[in-house]
Amino acid sequence: MAGAVNRENLDRIVGEIVQNTPVTDIHTHLYDPAFGDILLWGVDELITYHYLIAETMRWVDLPYEEYWRLSKVEQANLVWQTLFLDNSPYSEACRGVLTTLKALGLDVASRDLKAYRKYFGIRQVAEYVDQVFQIANLECVVMTNDPFDPVERRIWLDEVRTGKMERDQRFQAALRLDVLLNNWDTAWPQLKEWGFSVTAKLNEDTIQEVQRFLREWLEIMEPVYMAVSLPYDFQLPETSARATLIEKCIIPISRETGIPFAPMVGVRRRINPDLKDAGDGVGKMDIASIEYLCASFPENKFLVTLLSRENQHELAVLARKFRNLLPFGCWWFLNNPSLIEEITRMRLELLGTSTILQHSDARVLDQLIYKWDHSRQVITGTLVEKYADLLATGWILTEDEIKRDVEKLMGGNLWTFLERSI
Ligand code: HDL
Ligand code: ZN
């Protein structure tokens, strides 16, 4: 067994273990490089991340539609000037760009955006993916895959299912069901066009056909879980298409296949529609709806993250009651050091090692570098605090035990959860 740990070597040991433990990044918007241009990467994509667009538009009086008419480079130039040169870039999304540039060996002090563009201009995506995964020390990332997206649908049907494409196993799939569950009026005609004999009315035949659709896409994608982003006012039980689809289609197929259902709840979609992806807000959801799922379907597995800070505490308490609930991540507006620290500390105190502390939600490949650098810093500090508390009681700790715990917390719990028959 590796050596005993004491208060003097604790910080170093925990820091090394957290850094050296490869992460399973349970939720991203990245794509296998073989999927082509839908995998975003490079400095202009980094700088035009929708978080930074929202922050930029607080300063500029440009009409939104004029901003969206700018080219990607012109948008990036405006963000760079506004957030990085006219103001100090200490917001989390700004700081992240600089952390990434530094990790790639670029001269951050130069503030030379042209030079950064030149550097990325000569990179090839395949070797760059290797470098990003190496710097961020990732085992794998989980994508967000929408079968209703025409670009993705074609790739999965014409290239993956046919075996033409060799998938990069570092990019695991997640079957994302926002259209099916949040826009049934749009979904059912599309399903009908694809040959599923469904009607607007969710009668038994339609339910069976939606289940067939799910089975088909689980076979094509081989996803780690089935996910959906649900609005803050999501309610279960209720008499709605969404409730019927969840209870009569998702839940039975999830139980049949052992593939967890991952509701991600709390968005207030497009509260400023002019900001597009940057225009979503946050709302507190009714945790009783998650409780209803866990209690009503004890043989189903639920991976859950919630968007409001208050809900994360309620979720941790709920997870103490239901072993079929695995909370994960500091999602979206919670993915800031101050809140990652609060949520991580609260989870360790309420759940011990039975949770997944973080995911990146990366939309741009390069973001993996900063999102995991920043999160590892906070997670390390919080774990040191908790292990120090243990040492103070006289508890004996070994490096192997810390390694064991960190592996679970940084994503290992996902794979165990998938294997468990609850
Ligand atoms: O629904 C989601 O998966 C969210 O993460 C949204 O994509 C959101 O726009 C986002 O990128 N958050 O980080
Ligand atoms: Zn996301």
Q: How far apart are CA 272 and CA 277, in angstroms?
A: 9
- Cα–chain center distance at 389: 31
For ligand 1, atom 6: residue with the closest CA: 332
For ligand 1, atom 12: residue with the closest CA: 332
Q: Would you call 257 exposed, middle or buried from its count of C-beta atoms within 10 A (0-12, 13-18, 19+)?
A: middle
- CB 192 less than 6 A from any atom of ligand 1: no
Among 269, 332, 336, the mutation site with the greatest number of ligand 1 atoms within 8 A of its Cβ is 332
Mean pLDDT of 41-59: 98
pLDDT band, residue 2 (cuts 50/70/90): low
For ligand 1, atom 2: residue with the closest CA: 229
Q: What is the pTM of this model?
A: 0.98
Distance from the alpha carbon of residue 27 to the mean position of ligand 1, in angstroms:
9
Q: How far apart are CA 34 and CA 164, in angstroms?
A: 11
Summarised one tens digit per residue, pLDDT across range 311-358 is: 999 999 999 999 999 999 999 999 999 999 999 999 999 999 999 999
- CB 44 less than 6 A from any atom of ligand 1: no
Q: Omega into 150 within 30° of 0, i.e. cis?
A: no
Q: What SS3 state is found at 229?
A: strand
For residues 262 and 211, the answer to whether their CB atoms sit within 8 Å is: no
Summarised one tens digit per residue, pLDDT across range 223-274 is: 999 999 999 999 999 999 999 999 999 999 999 999 999 999 999 999 999 9
Distance from the alpha carbon of residue 363 to the mean position of ligand 2, in angstroms:
8
Among 229, 270, 374, the mutation site with the greatest number of ligand 1 atoms within 8 A of its Cβ is 229
Distance from the alpha carbon of residue 361 to the mean position of ligand 1, in angstroms:
7
Residue 422: what pLDDT?
A: 85
∠13-18-22 over CA atoms, to 5°?
135
Tokens of residue 252, six digits: 């039975």
Distance from the alpha carbon of residue 364 to the mean position of ligand 1, in angstroms:
12
Among 25, 27, 28, 29, the mutation site with the greatest number of ligand 1 atoms within 8 A of its Cβ is 29
Alpha helices, H only, 172-203: 178-182, 184-193
* Shortest-distance atom of ligand 1 to CA 363: 11
- CB 361 less than 6 A from any atom of ligand 1: yes
With 60 as the cut, is the pLDDT of residue 15 above it? yes
Mean pLDDT of 171-197: 98
Mean pLDDT of 103-124: 98
For ligand 1, atom 10: residue with the closest CA: 332
- Which secondary structure element, helix H or strand E, spans residue 413, and what is its range? helix 413-419
Alpha helices, H only, 204-336: 204-221, 241-245, 251-257, 288-296, 309-321
Tell me how long the chain is. 422
Mean confidence (pLDDT) of the chain: 98
pLDDT band, residue 3 (cuts 50/70/90): confident
Q: What SS3 state is found at 211?
A: helix
Closest ligand (CA of 281): 1
∠401-379-174 over CA atoms, to 5°?
95
- CB 229 less than 6 A from any atom of ligand 1: yes
- CB 333 less than 6 A from any atom of ligand 1: no
With 70 as the cut, is the pLDDT of residue 297 above it? yes
Walk me through the domains of the chain, giving residue ranges and CATH numbers: 43-122 (1.10.2020.10), 174-326 (3.20.20.140)
With 70 as the cut, is the pLDDT of residue 1 above it? no
- What secondary structure does DSSP assign to 306-367, as a single string? ESSHHHHHHHHHHHHH-TTEEEB---GGG-SHHHHHHHHHHHHHHHTTSSB------SBTTH
Tokens of residue 283, six digits: 């709302």
Q: How far apart are CA 271 and CA 212, in angstroms?
A: 35
Q: What SS3 state is found at 400?
A: helix
Distance from the alpha carbon of residue 10 to the mean position of ligand 2, in angstroms:
34
Residue 88: what pLDDT?
A: 98
Mean pLDDT of 287-307: 98
Summarised one tens digit per residue, pLDDT across range 29-46 is: 999 999 999 999 999 999
With 90 as the cut, is the pLDDT of residue 4 above it? no
